[in-house]
Structure 1
Amino acid sequence: MDIILVPGFWLDASSWEEVTPVLVAAGHAVHPLTMPGLESVSASRAGIGLRTHIDALVATIDTFSHPVVLVGHSGGGAIIHGAVDARPDRVARAIYVDSGPLGDGGVINDDLPDDGDDVPLPPWELFEDADLTDLDDGLRAMFRARAVPQPKGVAQDQQRLSNERRFEVPATVIACEFPSSMFIEMIAAGHPYVAELGRIRDVEFVDLPTGHWPQFTKPAELGQAILAAVDRNR
């Protein structure tokens, strides 16, 4: 199976490097992406928006002649969901890592402090404690050293969806900061935050207790969780 990995904010393809060995060892072809504007700290982020990233992912999907698996971490969940909307026949499963599908009209996060076209990685003090679980001082230093500013448009643009067939694509949610039971309760209560997720016909939830960056704090376990989800499509 071809697995396309979309990183969350401030990260490039290399952020998946400790996750991919489990998938490769199982015989899968892994394609971690660096999204437009995340190539380097000095790259231009002017004019890059959420649709830019979705279109880049769709272009990658279109290089394959068969359905692929999409994995999106954090803000990458909105990107893979936009691609599912564009290519529902070409996605075998969408896997959301501490994230979920962003509905039409939603934004990923317009509260993050920006600087021109950039959204730099904020100070750790601006994150919730749950975000930082297991992210020790060494990992925090590593993350900050490799972090690239996120294009402001990706964080602040509204999601635009139009294809009801997106709800037919199977999905897996790997819950890290909060237990999957919370998502299930919110869906049952009709909470607007999970309205899109609640409409997907085939959804499974997997718990991987850690902070918001499991690719750093529990990479092997995250690889196994992704592998188990992919194997459900075999």
Structure 2
Amino acid sequence: MTAEQIVLLGGLWLGASAWTGVAAELEKSGRHAVSVTLPGQGDGNLSATLADQVTAVLAAVDAGPGRSVVVGHSAAGTLAWMAADARPERVAKVVLIGGFPTGDGQPYADFFEITDGVMPFPGWGPFEGADAADLDESARRAFEAAAIPVPEGVARGVVRLRDERRFEIPVVVVCPEFTPAQAREWIAGGDVPELARAKHVDLVDIDAGHWPMVTRPTELARILAAV
């Protein structure tokens, strides 16, 4: 089977519409893109769990006519990796944008305070510097207005990885707010155990902050089409 579709997974607080520009560019280049609405991130389901999100991703992978390239942004890089673990025969490649997969038994994305059962966008304080340097004030306001609080059952869900065939699947790390050299150092230094065990890891630079689908959709689509 050849790779027939590119499955796009948004990170925390992002709905499927975050990929609109990228998906349009991919379609222009003849690639079929599927932007997944993750449960709890766009469907109003505040009781959604990490398992629900994995189920939605696998449904998209299984619906494809062949194998899929699964793209995970930020925390959703772990979702992409979990899909590879669950469907190693149907995932042709994993692309990680600005993030790395969490290991088995670890919480998915327990990064910020939970309030009333959800993890709201914490404001720009944690992202000052390279993460948000390419977002102007209007872009920041638009991001905040669209940000979807992540259900606690997603953020604090426990990652489960079982099939070591995932390490045979090629991985591409797209490096926005950090450099390929930094990523290589983190992997070699043991900070990213899952990728340290992966057999094929390529690193691609993109001159962007943490959300290149917002600020560099054409360039990001070009990279995804090439992989």
| Alignment pair present for 1:204 and 2:202 | yes
Contact 1:179 1:209 in 2 (8 A): no
SS for the counterpart of 2:140 is helix
Q: 1:9 aligns with which of 7, 12, 15?
A: 12
**Residue 17 of structure 1 aligns to a residue in which SS?**
helix
Structure 1 residue runs of 4 or more that deviate by more than 6 Å after TM superposition: none
Partner of 2:105: 105
Aligned 8 A contact 2:36 2:60 in 1? no
Match of 1:232? none
Output the aligned Cα RMSD. Answer: 1.4
Letter in 2 for 1:194: V
Q: Shift of residue 126 of structure 1?
A: 3.0
SS of the aligned residue for 2:186 comes to helix
Match of 1:226 in 2: 224
- How far the C-alpha of 1:117 sits from its partner, in A, is 1.9
SS in 1 for 2:63: coil
Q: CA deviation at 1:209?
A: 2.5
Compared CA separation, residues 226 and 155, structure 1 to 2 (3 A): same
**How far is the alpha carbon of 1:6 from its aligned partner?**
0.6
Structure 2, unmatched stretches of 5+, are: none
What is the aligned-residue identity percentage?
Answer: 38
Separation (CA, whole Å) in 2 of partners of 1:34 and 1:56: 8
Structure 1 residue 63, shift from structure 2 partner: 1.5
Pairwise CA distance, 1:160: 0.7
Of 150-159 and 69-78, the range deviating more from structure 2: 150-159
Q: Deviations over 1:81-110 (max 9, x none)?
A: 111100000001111111122221222332
> Which residues of structure 1 form unaligned runs of 5+?
230-234
Q: In the aligned structure 2, how far is the partner of 1:163 from the partner of 1:175? A: 26
2:96 is the alignment partner of 1:93: no
TM-superposition CA deviations, 1:171-229 (whole Å, max 9, x none): 1000111101111122222x2x3110111111100011321111111111111111111
Q: TM-score, normalised by structure 2?
A: 0.94
Aligned-pair distance for 1:8? 0.8
SS across alignment from 2:131: helix
Following superposition, the deviation at residue 167 of structure 1 comes to 0.5
Residue by residue over 1:144-179, the C-alpha shift from the partner in whole angstroms, topping out at 9 and shown as x without a partner, is: 111111112222222110100000111100011110
Q: Secondary structure of the equivalent of 2:182?
A: helix
TM-score, with structure 1 as normaliser: 0.91
Q: Tell me which residue corresponds to 2:45.
A: 44
CA distance in 2, matches of 1:52, 1:171: 24
**Mapped partners of 1:186, 1:37: distance in 2:** 31
Amino acid at match of 1:118: V
Deviation sequence 1:37-92 (CA, Å, 0-9, x none): 1225xx2312x222221111112211224111111111111111111100000001
Deviation at residue 23 of structure 1 after TM alignment: 1.1
